[in-house]
A = this chain, B = another copy of it.
Amino acid sequence: MAPKGKAKATTKGVGKGIGKKGSSKKGPGGSRSDGVLARGLARVKTLTEQLFQKHKDEQPKTLQELGITNVLKEVVEMESASVSTVIERVFCGIVETILVGEGCQYSIPTRSSSNQHYVEDLDRIVLKDKVSKKEFSSSSTVRKVTITTRILQLVNELCNKAIHVTKRDLFYTDVKLFKQQNDSDDVLNDVACLIGCTRTSLNVVASEKGVVIGRVQFREAGDLIDCTRMGVGGKAIPPFTDRITDIKSDASFILLVEKDAAFMRLAEDRFYNKYPCIIITAKGQPDVATRMFLKKLRHTLRIPILGLVDSDPYGLKILSVYMSGSKSMSYDSANLTTPDIKWLGVRPSDLDKYNIPEQCRLPMTEYDIKTGKELLEEDFIRKSEIWVAELELMVKRKEKAEIQALSNFGFQYLTEEYLPRKLAEGDWV
């Protein structure tokens, strides 16, 4: 159970990262390595300028400014007190309609795809203005109205107590009424649209699985979190980002990693000490909490995001979820999506460029190829010629490769050769 003296000695004194840009502790051949570092940082700086120059006083454009009118006001993050106020207003409205003899009813925005609208300028999906009336007096909607009323009551309680629960907790508060979790989950999305706030503003959250490490500090529920001092395991991203405040960082970019094996390599090598960056992974398919956290970092820090994923259709799908979101939560796309993520690697063209040996490339299955071809039709691929070319190359060669295939050249090839070269060459698309 004794600590490994050797391991400890090697890392001691590292991790006082913030403020100490580019200490050249690692990497063979200090001066060559420093040159690579300087070129990499210059490339990232240029990218940052490119990304943000067009909107210098960037306030994210509103739908009104874009002249789009037949669109429902998008949902926004709201404070608990405001959510409560809106709920009270909704109930007052219902009392009034009952008093004038129109009975108890809700006008709920339709979330079906016929009411979804892709706004190119914003690069995201929003809801159009169609609403449907749910009446207590109709036998087809009486149950929906009852569930909606109960959920509004429960959400009001959560907001007043300022606590968060999961969708599962919510379901269990009234199993007799909700019967199955799908029913309460579904109404929860309706309620978010009705109030005009994000689902997280309702204080109902999904579970967390993301981890962060690197050059960023913030307060989480009042606690000061310094992600340069999170050992090798990193900090678990909390299930609700509204408790995250006072974000500070001297990072030049965010490195978004598909898998935790790569995250571990980067964390253990303290890659962020040399290349000032923030490293995030959702360990596979991104969850809502990680997507919101990424969005919040990007919005606050205005630095580029570089994606490191497997060279297969699922790697691209993961990037797409971060970039365009999922259709079922399209009403909340503004708060969940981060459009301009750069695809750093591992790209199909890297396989030859970096001489990945045949035996580390895997043949794509029929299903992989089918998924790849379907992706070629998607908007988020088609808007970039290079992305199309890369994906076409993958489908043509019928070869895929994992990030870990780089281990073929040595365990630290990723952090000591591949990423430094990628950054120095500005090799992202």
Q: How far is the CA of A359 from the CA of B300 in the complex (A)?
A: 45
Q: Is the CB of A208 within 8 A of B220?
A: no
Contacting chain B: which of A91-99, A121-129, A231-239, A346-354? A231-239
CB of A221 within 8 A of CB of B80, answer: no
A68 interface residue per 8 A CB criterion: no
Complex CA gap A121/B220 in Å reads: 45
Q: How far is the CA of A38 from the CA of B160 in the complex (A)?
A: 30
Q: Name the distance in Å between A260's Cβ and chain B's nearest Cβ.
A: 5
Segment touching B, from A43-51, A263-271, A311-319, A380-388: A263-271
Q: Does A2 make an interface contact (CB < 8 A)?
A: yes
Flag if A79 contacts B207 (CB, 8 Å).
no
A248 on the B face (CB < 8 A): no
Residues of B within 8 A of A6 (CB): 79-81, 159, 162
A222 touches B172 (CB 8 A): no
A235 B232 Cβ-Cβ under 8 A: no
Please state if B1 and A296 are interface contacts (CB–CB under 8 Å).
yes
How many residues of chain A are within 8 Å of chain B by beta carbon? Answer: 86
* Chain A to chain B contacts (Cβ below 8 Å), 6 pairs: A3-B245, A169-B404, A172-B402, A208-B260, A225-B231, A233-B237
> Which A residues lie at the B interface, using CB under 8 A?
1-8, 10-15, 77, 79-81, 157-159, 161-166, 168-176, 205, 207-209, 211, 219-225, 229-240, 242-245, 260-261, 264-265, 268-269, 283, 296, 299-300, 357, 359-360, 402, 404-408, 410-412
Q: Quick one: which of B159, B208, B219, B268 contacts A163, CB cutoff 8 A?
A: B268
Chain B residue contacts of A360, Cβ below 8 A: 172, 175
**Which of B158, B222, B236, B238 contacts A411 (CB under 8 A)?**
B158
Partner of A232, one of B81, B211, B221, B229: B221
